[in-house]
Each structure stands twice: as C-alpha cells, then as structure tokens.
Structure 1
Amino acid sequence: MELEVRHLRVLCAIADTGSLHKAARELGLAQPSLSTQLRRIERALGAQLFVRARTGCRPTPLGLAVLSRARPLVAEFAAIVTETRAAAARAAGGFRLRIGATASRAIPGWLRLLRARVPRIEPTLHMSVSANALLGMVAAGRLDMAFVHEVEGSPLRFPPGLSRRVLVEREPQFVTLAADHPAASRQVVSLAELAGDRWMVDSTVDGEWDALCRVLRAAGLNPEILHGDYLTAYSLAAIGEVVTISQPTAHPRPDCAIRPLEGDPIGVRLLLAARTDAELDEAYAGLEEAYWSVARDAPAYRQWLERVRTPDESGPPGGRGAGRRIVRGLPDTAAGPCRP
C-alpha cells in the first residue's frame, strides 16, 4: 500500500477529533471503514500511530512525529486544488462557491444576495450539524467557506491557516415551549419555571448537549433530557411533551412560544470561516445583511434586541469584520425579507 494525501487527511482528522467515531463523521465515512483504513496505514508504515481506548484515540510518540509532517502537506495540497479550481472557474466566466453551514434562517437570504450581487458566482450549500466537520472540510479544500456557530463553553477546533470573521460575538439562545405552557404568558422565562419539564436537544450538534447540562446544573435542576433532532423537538414542544433550545431567529408558529431565558445563560458565537480574507470579503456583507433581516422578522428576538439596547446605540457596535461584542441593537438598514 502506498500512502496518499487522503490517508494523511485521515490521520489528521483522527488526531483533531480524538475519536474514530467523530473523525468518521467529519470525513463522511462509516466508522468501520475508517478503522480499516487506519489499520492499513499503520501496517504500511510498520508502526502503531494511535492508542485506542474507551475514552478515544490519542497519537503515539511516532504518531505525533508523522502528524507534524502530514499537516503541512495536507494544507498545501488543499490550497493547490482550491486555487487551481477557482482560477479555472473564473477563466470560464463563472465561479462555484461551495458553502457549508450549520442551521440558520439567514441562509436562504444570503444565497439570494450572493446571486444578485455577484452574478458570476453560483453558490452551493452543504449543511451539517457539526461545525467542526465543516471547518475541517474548508481546510481540506472540499468547501470554500463555512458559516457556523460556536457554543459557549465548547470551543471549536480551527484548523491552522483559516481566516474567520465574527458575525455576532454572543447570540442568546431561546427556549421553545407549547403555546399553552404556563410560562408562555411571560415575556422572559426563568429556568425555575421549567423545572418540571423534560428537555429535548440534538446531541450531535457540537457543544449543545454539554451547554444545556451545564446551565441546568448551575440552576440546581436535574430534568430528564432526551436526544432528538430539532424538527422532532419542536413538534413535541408544540404538544407540551418537551421544551427545547432554539435560535432566536426561529420563525414563530401558532402552537409554540419562543421566549428568551432569564439571564441569557446559553450563548453562541456566529462566524464565517474561509481560507483567505479575499473569500470572506466577497461573501460577508451579504451574510450580515441576511442575518439582521431575519432578526427583524423574528418577534421575540426583535423585542429582546430592543430591550437590551442602550440609549446611545443605534445598532450593533463594531465595524465590518470586528464582530458584535454584545448584541445590543438592531440595524435598520438590512434589506429584504429572508424567510425560507
């Protein structure tokens, strides 16, 4: 067996995630297939590169030496492929912009703005619940950029060489509950009012399960927490079976109430990552405009923004690329509805 760049990419993914399961998800492979590949790589090199344990995988001393040589090779090869493809596409009069994203209502409007403002760009979309997987795909040259959220307390793994631009430094996460829930009549809901409820959260979303557990423990609560995708969670919340975390930009529905949590205990950072600042410059303005448009379109979020705005502020502080240190205002210049 001769080693190829894809094999080096496998080693980097396992080291970065610390888990065969997580690395397989990041690479889009089945775990048994990844395990087989790792065994073949180790046989080809004649040495064990990772120690497997119940707690995950960690590199051996020889594995660390191999990784130190593999990482720059993987990054350089990805750059060659990406730059060559981009140059060829531009020469042909068009450019396919491969975008990765975690869930956000800003995405449809962002894609429309990209098509309208830069006609030669044809954006394509790859959705994933894992922000870390998307960042890895950008670094590997399989995506051009990724719009992701980073859950507070669970830092993302940023591959070396990626540029990033923060859209919102801390976006509060709200709670979704049945419209007839006793707490739904309140403008802001305390965790104590939800002490008797079961929660549902998607544990495959990087950091969200841990964040909710931390917040509930800090409040002295120990409710039952169920795993499920958010489409199921919202459906169950509508009939009072569970309550669930939701983005503040979530579109309201008549059978559910979306409310801020008292003290905003759960927050996420929204950011756009790419390999170059030039790629960020090309796409960031449209994303910013699309995001604040859906923010204005979400009643609970708009009320929250107006409530926390200070008297001397007319909009979020910070210039282009600076991020929003604290979201305190809602710009009045975002154009066009972006509702899916």
Structure 2
Amino acid sequence: MRHLRVLCAIADTGSLRKAALQLGMTQPSLTTQLHRIERAIGGSLFTREQTGSRPTALGHSVLSRARPVIAEMAALVSAARQEARETAGSGRHRRLRIGSVGSRAVAAWLRRVHERLPDTDTTIHVDISASALLRMVAADQLDVAFVYESEGFPLRVPPDAEHRVLMAREPQFVALSAGHPAAARPVVHLADLAGDTWMVDPTADHEYAAMRRVFSEAGLNPRVVQVRDNATAAELVASGEAVRHCQPTSLPGPGTVVRPVHGDPLAVRLLFTWRPRVLSPPALDALYADLRAAYLDLAKVNPAYLAWLARHEPVLLDRDQDRAQDRVQDRV
C-alpha cells in the first residue's frame, strides 16, 4: 500500500518534490523508492521533465489499478472505524452505505433517500470503477451500489451479490465543441468524428476497450488519448481539440454540445446491486424506486434523451407516469 500511495502522490502532484512533501519524506528517499518500484515492475512509470513528472503509458496502467485498491483500503478502514464507534456507543443506529459510479443521478437519489429515511445515517462512496464498487459490496463495505457495465465487457458480479437492471442498454452520447461541423446536426455519425481525437478515462472499467471495439467494427481508427481530469477534458472538448462520449443525461458545458450517435454504437447497462440478507425486500424495492425516479427526472430534462426513450423505452416512461399519477391520487 505504501508503494501504491507513492505512485499516486507523484501522479497527483506532478512533482517528486511536492509528492515528498505530501508524504512527509525527503525527495532523495522518494526517488530511491520510486526507482525500487520501477525495477520491481520492470519499466519506467514516470517521465522526468523540467515541468515535472508525468505518468508513462505503463504508469497510467499501473495507476488505474492502484487507485481502486487504495480507495478500497480507505473504505475498509473508514467502515471499520465507524462500526467500532457504533459498537462502543450506547446503541446501534440504522445506517445505509450507498456506492455509485459518477452520475448526475446520484445527488437526486440521495435527496430522495434522505427525505424518505431522515433518521438513517446514509453515506455515499463514489468511484469510477464499477468493479471496485462490486468488490466493496461483496466485502460488506457497501450495502447497495449503482454501477454500469460497458457493452461487450460483462462485469464480474461477485457470487454473493445480486442485481437488478435499471437500463438494459443506455446509449452513450458524444460531447463536442459547439464549433464542430457536426454540432449543427441533431444526430451525429461515428464517421463524422473519425478525424477527431477521442478521450477516455483510463481508470474506468473497460471504457477504452469498448470504444476500440466499436471503432474496429465501424472500420475506423481515430486517435484515442487517456485523460483522467474532468476539468481538462471539458476544456479540450470546448476548444475543439477532442471529443468524448458521455452519459445521455449529461449537460453540455460552456462552448460544447451533447449529441446522440446514429445507431447507438456505444452503450452501457445500468445495474442496481446489493448483498443478500442485508436489507429487506421492501427496503431494496424502495431504494431502487428512488434511483429509478431520480434517473428518469434527469432524462426528462434532456430533450434528445427523452426523445430517445420515447422511441426505444416507451414502457419505461409510461410506468413512470403511472407511478406519478398514483402518488398524486394518494395525496388527494
């Protein structure tokens, strides 16, 4: 774990000197430790430049695996401390540990849960790695988790975890500069973006492989770069330097537009997962309903995605409308 934290500190600060300060070490000691790690792995993990240290391709690969391990360890320690505090107290109080991949639905989901369960200690753990979240569910570090699965690359759902499908196939839209020639079209084709640089997050499970598979099937070979920082990615899209796929519930940033892709070649499956016997079936049903309602509320705000749902998932919208009418009648 110490070695993994060293690598992450260097990557996050972009400097051996700053990483050493962050870790409470001397720079020579940190450099020696980095050399030892690189010798053990068999390759350079960082390039040394005048402007700082940057991960190599091998470094990105190692970091993408190191960060989930560190996050899991931090979650384990946090959960253990919390349990110890509760055990030492006068009595145990109700708690709910939610995990989720990054999604705009998370905030609305939590708000609904808090309103329905005001006396429950609800926590949230957000991780870009669905696999890491599933492992935390299996290890009793999370009670439920909202994850996505890249099409063609099934997640390894632990044998002692169960799941329910929120969306069998959520299309991935594309974010591009408002000045891009394809931005004026309501729907873009992959071929329209074949000459663009595409961005992926190297820490997201199978994102790069899924994108490469889609391009290969379309007979395309665009340049793909790995960018972890969302702020940098947004700037690159707005400036026209790159495009990136995004969730259909995403809002366009300044100088950008979000468009559906013809034929929906990029897609994911959305899953609600949990450990058996931790929560009662009614409690699980209510949590799932909260997540579903939060997700559909976001979908309805995006006209392009709402139109897509009306064409491909009309039953989903009809059921949501029926539930809304039932709630109104209940209040009356």
TM-score, shorter chain, exceeding 0.5:
yes
What stretches of structure 1 of length at least 5 have no aligned partner?
1-18, 34-80, 318-328, 336-340
What is the TM-score normalised by the length of structure 1?
0.66
Measured at CA, do residues 284 and 205 of structure 1 come closer, stay the same or move farther in structure 2, by a change above 3 Å? same
Task: Tell me how far apart the structure 2 counterparts of residues 331 and 271 of structure 1 sit (CA, whole Å).
Answer: 23
Q: How does 1:196-235 map to 2 (within 5 A)?
A: 196-229=195-228, 230-235=230-235
Cα offsets for 1:16-38 (capped at 9, x unmatched) = xxx997765443279xx9xxxxx
What secondary structure is seen at the aligned counterpart in 1 of 2:122?
strand
Answer yes or no: is the 8 Å Cα contact 1:164–1:280 preserved in 2: no
Alignment map for 1:59-208 (pairs within 5 Å): 92=91, 94-208=93-207
Q: 1:315 maps to which residue?
A: 317
User: Residue 205 of structure 1 aligns to which amino acid in structure 2?
Assistant: A
> Partner of 2:182: helix, strand, or coil?
helix
Q: Who is 1:62 aligned against?
A: none
Distance 1:179 1:27, change over 3 A: same
Structure 1 position 27 matched with structure 2 position 31: no
**How much does 1:122 deviate?**
2.4
In structure 2, the partner of 1:236 is 236
Pairwise CA RMSD of aligned residues? 3.3
Amino acid at match of 1:203: P
Spell out, residue by residue over 1:135-175, the C-alpha distance to the aligned partner (whole angstroms, 9 max, x if none).
Answer: 00111111111111111111111111112111111100000
Answer 1 or 2: which has greater helix percent. 2
In 1, the alpha carbon distance for the partners of 2:316 and 2:272 equals 24
Q: Structure 1 residues 243 and 314, CA, compared in 2 at 3 Å: closer, same or farther?
A: closer
- 1:196 shift after superposition: 1.3
Secondary structure in 2 aligned to 1:28? helix
Deviations 1:45-68 (A, max 9, x none): xxxxxxxxxxxxxxxxxxxxxxxx
1:249-260 to 2 correspondence within 5 Å? 249-260=249-260
In structure 2, do the counterparts of structure 1 residues 199 and 114 end up closer, same or farther at CA, with 3 Å as the change threshold? same
Q: Distance in 2 between matches of 1:267 and 1:146?
A: 19
1:121 CA displacement: 1.6
Aligned residues: 254
1:289 paired residue among 282, 286, 293: 293
2-side partners of 1:178 and 1:23: how far apart? 31
1:253-308 Cα shifts (integer Å, max 9, x gaps): 34111011100001111111111262523411111111101111223212322344
Cα distance in 2 for residues equivalent to 1:161 and 1:126: 20
Residues 80-123 of structure 1: CA deviation (Å, up to 9, x unaligned): x9xx99x979x947422111111111100110110101122222
Give the distance between the partners of 2:218 and 2:256, measured in 1 at CA: 24
- In 2, Cα distance between equivalents of 1:24 and 1:100: 19
CA distance in 2, matches of 1:25, 1:158: 20
2:200–2:225 Cα contact (<8 Å) kept:
yes
Q: What TM-score do the two structures reach when normalised by structure 2?
A: 0.68
Query: Which residue of 318, 325, 333 corresponds with 2:324?
Result: 333
